[in-house]
Amino acid sequence: GENVEQHPSTLSVQEGDSAVIKCTYSDSASNYFPWYKQELGKGPQLIIDIRSNVGEKKDQRIAVTLNKTAKHFSLHITETQPEDSAVYFCAASRMDSSYKLIFGSGTRLLVRP
């Protein structure tokens, strides 16, 4: 069945360090992989996404990599700042049900000043 595993569940880093969150998906038909950031009391907000025809995508301090063979994708945040502290979710979807996102269990990131 469809499943997305996400690690670690919590991550604490010093301000300025990098943070890496990893996800593995089970459905080989998945081809869209968004990452969401959720702050307390708010809904998830898209921060970056990647499609299966691309291996890496960057947006300023944020990058995502995708390894289709191994069925895993990762979020990299460089030069972390206290405002990066939040819960991060990875997700995956298939082309034939592209509005159905299967989410990972979330990573609580704490950036220590």
Partner 1 sequence: KAGVTQTPRYLIKTRGQQVTLSCSPISGHRSVSWYQQTPGQGLQFLFEYFSETQRNKGNFPGRFSGRQFSNSRSEMNVSTLELGDSALYLCASSPGTARQETQYFGPGTRLLVL
What is the binding site for partner 1 (CB under 8 A)? 31-32, 34, 36, 41-46, 49, 51, 89, 91, 93, 95, 97-106
Q: Given the complex with partner 1, which of 43 and 113 has the nearer CB atom?
A: 43
* Cβ neighbours for 95, distance < 8 A, ≥ 6 positions apart: 29, 31, 32
Q: Least Å distance between CB 29 and partner 1?
A: 13
Q: Are 23 and 14 in contact (CB under 8 A)?
A: no
Structure tokens at 65: 């990599």
- The Cβ of residue 60 has, within 10 Å, a number of other Cβ atoms equal to 9
Q: Least Å distance between CB 93 and partner 1?
A: 7
Q: Given the complex with partner 1, which of 35 and 80 has the nearer CB atom?
A: 35
Q: Least Å distance between CB 59 and partner 1?
A: 13
Structure tokens at 111: 């950036």
